[in-house]
Amino acid sequence: MNCYLCDRQMPHQVTWRSVFFHEPDDVCCSRCRTGFEEIAAGCPICSAEGEGKCLDCVQWEATEYQGLIDSGTSLYRYNPPMKEYLHRYKFLQDVILSEVFASVLKEELQKQKSIIVPIPMNDEKLKLRTFSQVDRLLDAASIPYTHLLGKNRVALGGKSKAERIEMQNVFWWNEKQVPKKILLFDDLYTTGSTLRMAAKVLKDKGAKEIKIVTLIRA
């Protein structure tokens, strides 16, 4: 088969794991795969390297969003190859690229003991894009999830962190039962506003512990 990203032909390799655990073939060649930079350590939330909290968390902890997220992780940095990947996947609507990180997300999320809640899109954007990029990442990884939130039509892109902190919450509860332990999943962590706003709604509705996982950290 050919690499989904560069279209180079990839040799088919049979391994013991692929035979006994029915693992799918990799859809991304090793050359493209090495372009993505894994995050070994650092916030979110808040695993700042060294002592104290990162600047991002310090700013948020001075607001009503203090202490809403218990812990979390991001898997990759937003470097040029990842930026190109996300552009093709989200904005050029290359839906099949949801499979590129399926095995990585499956390994990370299967070990979680919380109910996984994806960050939703507002209805207008969903209609325009034709698919939810966050849901499709989870679908490709065969990870079950539950929608507990809806999202109003409010654009966060282009706003500064200060502007986002002052915004009214863009999410609303969809009236499904809220479990005690939740893992919020999103594709991209930029300023943390989206995840904190979502966490606030769920904490207000009875969640006791909220963790986060994002594929990318900008």
For the chain, which domains are there?
1-34 (no CATH), 35-217 (3.40.50)
List C-alpha distances in Å: 210 to 132, 169, 205.
Answer: 22, 17, 12
Q: Are 93 and 128 in contact (CB under 8 A)?
A: no
Residues of the chain with pLDDT under 50: 48-51
Residue pLDDT, tens place only, 4-62: 999 999 987 655 555 555 555 789 999 999 999 998 765 555 554 444 566 777 777 78
Of 201, 13, 142, 4, whose CA–CA distance to 85 is shortest? 4
Q: What is the H or E stretch that residue 110 is in? A: helix 102-110
Q: Report d(CA 202, CA 193) in Å as an integer.
A: 14
- pTM metric for this prediction: 0.86
pLDDT value of position 50: 45
pLDDT value of position 16: 55
- In 112-164, DSSP assigns E strands to 115-118, 149-151
